[in-house]
Amino acid sequence: MQKLTLAFVSILTLSVSQYAQAESISRAQAETLMAECKVFRTQKIEPLKAIEIDKCINEQGKEAETCSRLYDGYGETHIYANGNMQMGLFWDSPICDKALTVEKYFKMHPGKDKYEKGNN
């Protein structure tokens, strides 16, 4: 019984320590993470943009070139003249949220080479 309990405690300790370890991301990995976020966002935004352009052409009767120009920045962050900002689509996805968090960390800590989750 003691051996079984000891084995269980050992396995539990290893499992917990695996999750408790800090996640380490280098500056180069942060750039890759942001690039992956941008690809993810593009893949999600493009079909939505195409739908809006199609509606513009078919429902509003505008020229395709006009609609393409009108929706060129669809889904991207927009800053209005009054200074208000509308966040772009899909920045709140897990991969982009992580990329933004790490990017912010490196901007706030220019001398650091690694982002350590839980130690920032």
Residue 42 has pLDDT above 60, yes or no: yes
CA distance 32 to 9: 38
| 103 touches 37 (CB < 8 A) | no
Give the pTM: 0.74
CA distance 120 to 103: 12
Average confidence score pLDDT of the chain: 85
pLDDT for the residue numbered 23: 83
Residue 66 has pLDDT above 70, yes or no: yes
Residue 70 has pLDDT above 80, yes or no: yes
- CB-count burial class (<10 Å; 0-12, 13-18, 19+) for 13: exposed
So where are the chain's domains?
27-110
CA distance 99 to 27: 11
Average pLDDT rounded to a whole number, residues 81-98: 96
